[in-house]
Amino acid sequence: MNASNTQIQMRKGLLEFCILHIIARGEIYASDMIEELTDAKMIIVEGTLYPLLNRLKNASLVSYKWVESESGPPRKYYSITEEGSRFLETLNETWDSLVNSTQLITSKK
């Protein structure tokens, strides 16, 4: 039991939330998502992101279209669906509630 594993465990589930938020802002492809998350100090690797995006897509929360790149292989540009937007709203509530609960517990003396 070490801090880095705990960090991983805490981040679990939050990734889905953050990625939905990023996609909700506009069309974007995987590598740029990783960059955004890394900039915000939320580290994520490809082996985590790609399966997650597939799960979101299979759940009809996001959709994608292929776009050819000027240099390199084509990219999958993701965008959020209506269902995804609704789901994101419930996630916002879940997150707020969770922060609130944790605040309650960790600030008590």
| CA–CA dist 65, 77 (Å, integer) | 5
Among residues 34, 56, 64, 78, the one that binds a second copy under rule CB under 8 A: 56
Among 38-46, 63-71, 72-80, which window interacts with a second copy (CB under 8 A)? 38-46
Tell me if 22 contacts a second copy by CB under 8 A: yes
Bridge-based pairing of strands 62-67 and 75-80 is antiparallel
Q: From 23-31, 85-93, 99-107, give the range in contact with DNA by CB under 7 A.
A: 23-31
Tokens representing residue 71 in the block: 């240099």
| 45 lies in the binding site for a second copy (CB under 8 A) | no
Nearer to a second copy, 10 or 68 (CB): 10
Complete DSSP assignment for 25-56: TS-B-HHHHHHHHHHTT----HHHHHHHHHHH
69: its two tokens: 């790149």
Answer yes or no whether residue 62 interacts with DNA by CB under 7 A. no
Does residue number 12 form part of the binding site for a second copy (CB under 8 A)?
yes
**Residue ranges with strand state E in 1-109:** 62-67, 75-80
21 is a site residue for DNA (CB under 7 A): no
Give the footprint of DNA on residues 90-109 (CB under 7 A).
Answer: none
